[in-house]
Structure 1
Amino acid sequence: MTTAASLAGTAALVGDPARAAMLGALLDGRALTATELAFTAGITAPTASGHLGRLVAGRLLGVARQGRHRYFRLASPEVARMLESILVAAAEPVPEPPRATPRISPALREARTCYDHLAGRLGVGLADALVARGLIVLGEEAGEATEAGRAWLDAFGLPTEPARTRRLFCRPCLDWSERRPHLAGQIGAALCRRCEELGWIARVRDSRAVTVTPAGRRGFAEAFGLVLADDRDSGGTGLSGGLRGRSQGSALDPPKA
C-alpha cells in the first residue's frame, strides 16, 4: 500500500463519527467490551461489531479474549499519540480572556490521563517543574533526564534507564487543552503509575479525568512545588486556577512514601 493510500485509509477509519467516539473512549488506556463501546458511540451492537472489526484490521485497535467477552483497546501508544494530535488540530477555540481556550469540561482540563500518562493542567505543571529545575530536558520530539534528574527519578521510584522497547524513554506530548507539552513516553507512564501508587491521584469512573487526593495535594507541593487547592476552593476539580511552583532554582524533594 502506498504512503498516500495508507494515510487515506487511516484517516477514513478515524473520520467516521461512531469510530471516532469509540477511539476517544479508549484514550485513557482502558480495555472495553463491544457492548460498552456501542453504548458510548450511540449505535447498535451489530453496527459496533462491524466498526470494531475495521479498526482491528486497520491496526488501530487490539483485541483480547477473556471468557466469553472480547476486550478492545488502542493498539499502541503511537495510536494514542495520533488521536491526541488530531484533538489538538480539531479543538475549536473560544474568545475567552486572557487567551483562547478550547471547549473542555473543567475536570478534564484540570487533570486527566492521556492514554497512560498525565495531562491537563496537572500534567503540564509536572513537566514544567521537572524542566525548570533542570531534571528533564525536552526537545521537539524527545527528551532525556539530566544527571541530577536521574538521581531524582531514582529517589522518586521511577526508572532512570529506558526499557527495551520501541517506545521513547521521554518525549513531550502537546496538551490539547493547554496547548503546551506534558510528559509522555516511558517516563510519563511511570510517573502516572507512581502517583497512583502513592495515592496522590484517583481515577474518575467512566472518564479520563483524575482527581487529586489530600495526600496528593501535599505530595505535589513537597515533591514538585505545585500548589494545589482544596476541592472546596476550586469547585470540586481539585486544582487551583493557576499552578504555582517554587522559584526556578529550587530543588525538588522526592516524596516521603
Structure 2
Amino acid sequence: MKEGPDIAQIGALIGDPARANMLAALTGGRALTATELAGVGGITVQTASTHLAKLEAGGLLTQRKQGRHRYFTLADEAVARLIESMMGFAAGRGHLRHQPGPKEPALRKARICYDHLAGDYGVRMLDSLIASGSIDAVGDGLALTEKGEGDLKCIGINVGDLRSSRRPLCRSCLDWSERRAHLAGSLGKALLSSFLDKGWARRTAESRSILFSPEGDRQFLKLFPVDP
C-alpha cells in the first residue's frame, strides 16, 4: 500500500533491540537520562544518544533539559499504550526475553504502566468498577457513570477536576501480562496517585513494580472485591 500511515517507519524504530529496551523502560513513567537508558539498552552513551535522536524525531520520545542534564520520557500516553500492547502481543506468541525470575510475580501483581496501575490489580480494579456499575463498558470504550462519580468522591477523587483536563477521563489499556484491559486515562492516574498518597503502595527504585503494604492490600481488595 503506497498511501496512508507508514507503519514500517514506526516498526523500524521500535524493532531495534536497544531502542525497544529503552522504550520499555520509559513505560514506567519516570524521566531517564541518556546514561541510564544506555545501561538499559546495553550500549554506550554515544550510541544511545544516536538512538534517542531517532526516537525523538519519530515522535516516540520527548526530552527536557534540567541544568546540564537531559531527561527523556515517552512522548505521550499513546506511545505507552502502543508499547504495552506490543508487549502483550509478544508475550502471547511466546516471544519472551528471559525466564520468569523473582521479580516476575511482583510485576504481574501490580506495576505502573506510564502513570496508571497495571497487572492483576489493575485488571481487578477495572473489572470491579464495571461490576459495581461505576463504569460502563460502551463498545470498545469506557464511560464513568453518575454512581461512579459519587463513589469516587467518597474516596477523595474529584472527577470535576479530571474532566477539565484535555486527557480522556477513562480509557482501556491492554495489559501485557493479563491479556485483558486495565484502566488508563486521567481517572486511572488519579486512582494510582491516591493509593500512593495514602501509603497503601509504593514505587520501587529500579522496577515498574508497585508494592502494596499489608494494609494497602487489605484496603484495595475491600474497595475492589471482584477477582478477574
TM-score, normalised to structure 1's length?
0.80
Structure 2 partner of 1:54:
54
Task: Tell me, yes or no, if the aligned pair for 1:63 and 1:72 is still in contact at 8 Å.
Answer: yes
Deviation of residue 140 (structure 1)? 4.2
| Superposition CA RMSD, Å | 2.0
Moved over 6 A (4+): none
Distance 1:77 1:221, change over 3 A: same
Report which structure shows greater RCO (CA 8 Å, sep ≥6).
Answer: 2
Deviation of residue 93 (structure 1)? 5.4
Is structure 2 residue 4 aligned with structure 1 residue 3?
A: yes
SS at match of 2:73: strand
Equivalent-residue separation in structure 1 for 2:20 and 2:158 (angstroms): 34
Task: Tell me, yes or no, if the aligned pair for 2:81 and 2:174 is still in contact at 8 Å.
Answer: no
Deviation of residue 77 (structure 1)? 0.3
Equivalent-residue separation in structure 1 for 2:187 and 2:65 (angstroms): 29
Structure 2 partner of 1:132:
131
Matches within 5 A, 1:100-111: 105-111=104-110
Task: Tell me, yes or no, if the aligned pair for 1:139 and 1:172 is still in contact at 8 Å.
Answer: no
Structure 1 counterpart of 2:136, one-letter code: V
Equivalent-residue separation in structure 1 for 2:197 and 2:139 (angstroms): 30
Task: Tell me, yes or no, if the aligned pair for 1:142 and 1:168 is still in contact at 8 Å.
Answer: no
Equivalent-residue separation in structure 1 for 2:185 and 2:66 (angstroms): 28
Structure 2 partner of 1:164:
165
Equivalent-residue separation in structure 2 for 1:221 and 1:44 (angstroms): 44
Structure 2 partner of 1:66:
66
- Which sections of structure 1, spanning at least 5 residues, go unmatched? 95-101, 227-242, 245-257
In the alignment of these two chains, the number of paired residues is: 219
- Greater fraction of residues in helix: 2
Structure 1 counterpart of 2:141, one-letter code: A
SS at match of 1:14: helix
Q: Give aligned-pair identity as a percent.
A: 48
Equivalent-residue separation in structure 2 for 1:65 and 1:185 (angstroms): 26
Structure 2 partner of 1:39:
39
Equivalent-residue separation in structure 1 for 2:211 and 2:93 (angstroms): 25
Q: Which stretch has the larger CA shift, 102-111 or 75-84?
A: 102-111
Equivalent-residue separation in structure 2 for 1:140 and 1:177 (angstroms): 23
Structure 1 counterpart of 2:107, one-letter code: L
SS at match of 1:91: helix
Equivalent-residue separation in structure 2 for 1:184 and 1:197 (angstroms): 18
- Which sections of structure 2, spanning at least 5 residues, go unmatched? none
TM-score, normalised to structure 2's length?
0.89
Structure 1 counterpart of 2:156, one-letter code: G
SS at match of 1:134: coil
Structure 2 partner of 1:89:
89
Matches within 5 A, 1:142-221: 142-161=141-160, 162-165=163-166, 167-221=167-221
Equivalent-residue separation in structure 1 for 2:139 and 2:183 (angstroms): 12
Instruction: Kindly provide the CA deviation profile for residues 173-197 of structure 1, in whole angstroms up to 9, marking residues without a partner as x.
Output: 1211111111111111111111101
Distance 1:63 1:200, change over 3 A: same
Structure 1 counterpart of 2:125, one-letter code: L
Instruction: Kindly provide the CA deviation profile for residues 208-232 of structure 1, in whole angstroms up to 9, marking residues without a partner as x.
Output: 0111112202311332236xxxxxx
Structure 1 partner of 2:222:
222
